[in-house]
Structure formats: C-alpha cells, structure tokens
Amino acid sequence: MDVAPIEIYVQGRYDSDNNFGQIVLGTKRAMPVFDLLPQVSADSYFDMLHIVVGIQFDEETNKERFRYRLTALDTEIQKTPWGTHFTFLDYNETGLEDLWADWVALSVGPGFNFGAEKTRFIIRAMGHAAFNTYRFGEIVFSDLGDPAGETRTGGSFGGSARVSLVVIDRFLIRGGYDLRWLTAGPDARKDQIDVVLKIEIGNGWGIFGTFARMTAEMSRDSATGSGMEKITVSQDRTTFGGGIRFSPGSSN
C-alpha cells in the first residue's frame, strides 16, 4: 500500500438528455505506475480499493437516488507494443447505466507512444471479453421500455480504442471509445465515447473535466397489425462533468 497513495475526489456531472444531475465523493488507492515503471506509457494507471458514494438528482420528478461504486482492482497499462486493461470485482451504480458490474474483464491489443521526454502521444486498440451484470435502467433509458429495467448476467465482448496526449506532471487529455455486445438480453449492446482532461495544480491537488456519450440498444416486442414482432430500439445519454482531487502527502 505504500506505493499506492490514497486519492480523494469530488465529482459533479449533468445529463443534458435526461436532466439528471449527480455528485459523488470517491476515494481509491492510485499507484503511480509511470513513476515506478517509466517504460510504460504515461497514461497507464493502477487503481484499487475504489469506493464512491453520492446522489443522483432527477429534475423532472424532484427525486433523489443513492448511487455508489465498489471496485477491487481496475488497471490499464501499456508497454509498447502492447496495452492491457484488467478489471476485477467492479460494481458500479454511478455510471451512465443504472448498473454495470464487471466481475472479471480483460482487454488486450497493440499500443504505441511517441514524443519527447515530457510530452507523449499515446494510441492503443484492444479486444475485450468480460463476465458481468448490467441493467440499463428504465428511468435513465426509458425509450428502451421494460427490458431496460431487468438485471441480467452474462458475457460481453467487443473492442476499445484510446488516444492520449500527456505533458508529464502537468496535464493529460484522453479520448476513448468502447463497444460491447452483451450475451444476456435481447440483442443488447452499448457503445460509449469518453473524454477526460486532468490538470495538475501542485502539492497533490488536481482538477479534471469529463465528457461522455453512451448509446444503449435492445430489442423489444412491439404490436403490429399482424401481431407482435421484435424491433430494435436505441437511446443516447450525453453528460458533462468535472471535479477536484487530492492525494495527501503528494509533493507533485
């Protein structure tokens, strides 16, 4: 634990499609893998014992919901020419879905980084497989109908891509795209775009901003003149957010 300092953060987020707001408080052990292993890419991370609690606000109904996340291990590390992402026991009710739990997940693929000593440009693409539980949520994905409210467990597979620009000890901007097909559920899939900007202020303090857009897709029964037939329905969520973080004892 001595090489994985505690990180504490507060994050707010607003869903411009559904008029949801959310604010959470989180803490985790965040190992500075680039400082310990300079041969890995500067956007690599190794987080464990991640705990998040917070509240989601529904502006249309004036109701609040308790949100939380518990994660044993989540890491993404790249050492040219390969990148890997591994997740173990991540139960998340703070994401864009109502619930997304990766019990075990692995992504592997080629990755490369370029640039000078302090400024690095990093790219990677990875194939993905996982065993997980999910629920899109009939509240946040109301267009999907009743199937969105069911909790389902099964496998998922797909791919992801990452592009990062890092000025070491100053800032990081990273864009990512993830596509998942889900074996549990009627023709279910999701794809998501994430962008994060992190700026180091100094003495362990930092600020960050986030953007995410997710599309969830499922099949459902629909009445027609000749009876019932399955149709594929999709819905988007777009969110903007940001926050502040602090690592006690850090001198960066």
Tens of pLDDT, residue by residue, the chain (252 residues): 567 889 999 999 999 877 889 999 999 999 989 888 888 999 999 999 999 999 999 877 778 999 999 999 999 999 999 999 999 999 999 999 999 999 999 999 999 999 888 899 999 999 999 999 999 998 888 888 888 999 999 999 999 999 999 999 899 999 999 999 999 988 899 999 999 999 999 889 999 999 999 999 998 766 665 666 778 899 999 999 999 999 986 655
Contact 36, 44 (CB under 8 A): no
Distance between terminal CA atoms of the chain? Answer: 19
In whole angstroms, what is the distance from residue 74 CA to residue 96 CA? 18
Residue 157 bridge partners (DSSP): 129, 181
Listing DSSP states for 16-76 in one string gives TTTTEEEEEEEEEEEE-HHHH-TTS-TT-EEEEEEEEEEEEEETTTTEEEEEEEEEEEEEE
Question: What's residue 226's pLDDT?
Answer: 63
Contact 231, 219 (CB under 8 A): yes
Beta strand 205-224 with 152-167 is: unpaired
Residue 220 bridge partners (DSSP): 231
